[in-house]
Structure 1
């Protein structure tokens, strides 16, 4: 089957060629040019005002029949190309939508991300990096288009709607992250999702401190406050810059820092002052003095050099900073 564009092009060329041949033919039958053009128009377009050119001979009549058939045929062929183009576009759109729906229907143990704003985009990027299957729900067509361009599965609609959550496969999902900037919407989504899947792990975003309790009561397993995390991050950059630099050297260490906080373990830094008895000593001497309450995981020399997992024999100098790992309060 020819492509719609090719059909339109061929039909248009044939139609224009028919008009030119028809006007020339009537002119050869001793019909003035303007009259011949008028004759062709009322013949091809079926206006039917009568014959203004002499068509009394069998040749003239056969020519007129040719003009009618060729004109109608080429016009119908061109219009058919336009109809095919529209129909194929709609059919392709329907098939593409069906393919996306089928893809989501086949998902098992996936994550549903409600909201594709700044936090949702970061979350989706991390899930894609770790090859975790997920579906993004959002109402904004522009955001979903950008998500689809990255190869993400998307579901358009309001995440507070049960039907939208079901279309995203909430009954087969293992985790749902609701990261909308509206706390009330996050509470409602959490409540709805918990009712649809009691075994679901729900991670919810809460902007206000008072929202955390409501989200937990609604069924959230974890509540994350972006403002609180940002504030703590900025405070740590001021109070523990060397520790943050050590932990920021890779994504794995960022995740390690989050896990350590959950088990009441702290990464801290100790600066060696000029008059410290530890000056001239070694990493082993420091750990002995600590009586096993911490371990040294890194050393930042005063010249800025970072040594990860320093050997016990490494000497300590004034203005060195030792990164240690231990329990809170030790």
Structure 2
């Protein structure tokens, strides 16, 4: 019976739901669940999913969107500044890794043509897993994160020559080998020129025209079109789909639309990436494991230990610190998704037998399954192995900070020196207030230091570094970045020793206000709510409302914890870039008809407050009353404005209307 592709797609979606739910509960990366689901349900397992060109295309589009978002993360100047890492370090890793993998394959009796392909497949790492895990851990912009991404970019580029080389090896056409490779490189240069030209002269005007329509659907459609069109262009030039998507993301990362584009593309990327990992797991034949497990274990050891040590050594030789080298080596110690493309093409040209292919495939899948753990604990392992080195470097940084700040008194400590931190610093300088800033972006720190600003490299979540910055003498501490977990760590490590120190925390909205306040924040300042207050201030002043009255309204809003601003009518969709209200809380209006059972009752008798629902206002006869008293008796035609979580609002509506 012919299986419709939709059936396989539904099975994949069901498996993805189960995998993510189970792995999230176990606090493990979802990638592991995707791989395991693919192994169990694939054609070599339970046979629930089958090989399908449609599914393969969807999975490949997931990688396309991943590379597109990677490009958004990297600015063009930053990418050009990384050319030494991309070409030098990445090139050395691919060449030496391929040579080592080729030698191992030759030892197992693989022909030299097939051994070269095996070596190339083993030299590649998993861009999909590594980048996603680094992004989840907020390490994508760290030194080891940027180094790893630079190497991965060269690996993705190196896939092209290998794809050209495999048919040549199969045809024993060594005499004509260099011309196809040179042609592929020329195509790569052409692709770069085309994408840079389109990015400079077409993409920004295109998105400006789209945004003028104020249509979220059109904006999302344009993002999808640009990402897939860029992938198609490089594919038509004989290069990988992912390369074009990365270049398009790189171009759009320079525009003012970057953050909205990233928000729009993320749902598509995450769903299709999950399908991609399931299809990877489906390639594994678990019934062959009893016969090939010694070779698999040896190859996994080569990938995790050998490849990790090679990357670490090259990173160290390139001038990076030992800790950065170890962390980069751990992050890249696995096989990658593009290796499967090389193996599949080599099998098609019969460069080695299916048994060899299954050994390599199984080892790569196993190494990819280990990757989330290697990436998650790369810092712990590096600090354990290089404890003295890490301790010495941290001590040197603390000494540098302490020497530069030992004379400061009643100064401000800024945790983070991005846009918000720099704007605060400008106001402090205008008022002749001293400040110290800690940040993790070395380029930003270098530029700020060259300009004479007191900014230092350091992780503000470490209390000893804050102490070196004069925490005991500081007048206030400000968390300027929007990273809730880091802010909670800072609060937990500072508040216990300094209960009276004012600590101001910036957040994007009110989602984590209570959690941050309970952790010890003196003030939590949600950007979206403060923007509303600023607009209200300017509007009321424009309307002629006395300044004193406006200030009173602002003070009431802030002193109440923005209570009257924190519920909203969400409608069919939120505004661009806006998150759902805190805890799912929203506003909902219930109109009481004549036969409503609640007519004639007092608010206190309904028990709404006990169920987490507040009546924020009642409109009666065209007059709206805010904060009604509990003894208000409800009448026919009253409109009650309720605030609370969605599921509780549904209960409250039934309570008011019956049913």
Q: Same fold (TM over 0.5)?
A: no
With normalisation by structure 2, the TM-score equals 0.22
Give the number of the structure with larger relative contact order, counting CA–CA contacts within 8 Å between residues 6 or more apart.
2
With normalisation by structure 1, the TM-score equals 0.43
> Which of 1 and 2 has greater Rg?
1
Structure with the largest fraction of strand? 1
